[in-house]
Structure 1
Amino acid sequence: MTLVDGNALAGDLAEVLGGDATSARLRCSGCGTTGLLAVTRVHRTAMGSVARCRGCDTVLVTVVDAGASLWVGMPGTRAVATA
């Protein structure tokens, strides 16, 4: 497993969140903190990526590239602001 920051998800999430996805603000459902996707902690494996809240470690975003489909989950994200 490789640990990187939220900038690693920029390309994958550009289609979902538009333009520069790293500037999207996410509100954590675990602790209520709002922060940029770019500063989340992202765990990457061959199976996909998991972005976690720096405040409480809640899983904010999951990304799985299944070839023909890109699966994006936001289980711990209460809200997203893109502008």
Structure 2
Amino acid sequence: MHHLDGNVLSGSAADLFAFEATAAQGRCRSCADIAALGQALVYGLPMGHVARCRNCDNVLLIIVEHGGRRSLDMRGLCWIRVAAGH
């Protein structure tokens, strides 16, 4: 299946975060890789996006759009780090 890079998440994530999500760093719960979310491998769905770890293919986060609402599942991330002031 063809994937996009994590920068495609900027539109979907903009309503969920008060910071630029693609620039934030996250740690994969599966392999402990630390990378900007913009480096994730993203697969599009009709209703949202699935972001996978660039290193081990673990699902990092899922953004689902349905009925005018967005839901976020981040169970594949240990944490997200954002630069102060963002």
Q: TM over 0.5: same fold?
A: yes
- Moved beyond 4 Å, runs of 4+: none
Distance of 1:25 and 1:18 partners within structure 2: 15
Identity of aligned residues (%): 37
Q: Where is the helix percentage greater, Structure 1 or Structure 2?
A: 1
Q: Does residue 1:39 correspond to 2:39, yes or no?
A: yes
RMSD: 1.4
Instruction: Give structure 2 stretches of 5+ with no counterpart.
Output: none
Distance of 2:44 and 2:68 partners within structure 1: 19
Instruction: State the TM-score, normalizing by the size of structure 1.
Output: 0.90
Instruction: State the TM-score, normalizing by the size of structure 2.
Output: 0.87
Aligned twin of 2:28:
28
1:25-83 C-alpha deviation (Å, 9 max, x unpaired): 11000000110010100000213210000111110010111132101100200001111
Q: How many residues align?
A: 83
For residue 2 of structure 1, report the CA deviation from its aligned partner. 4.8
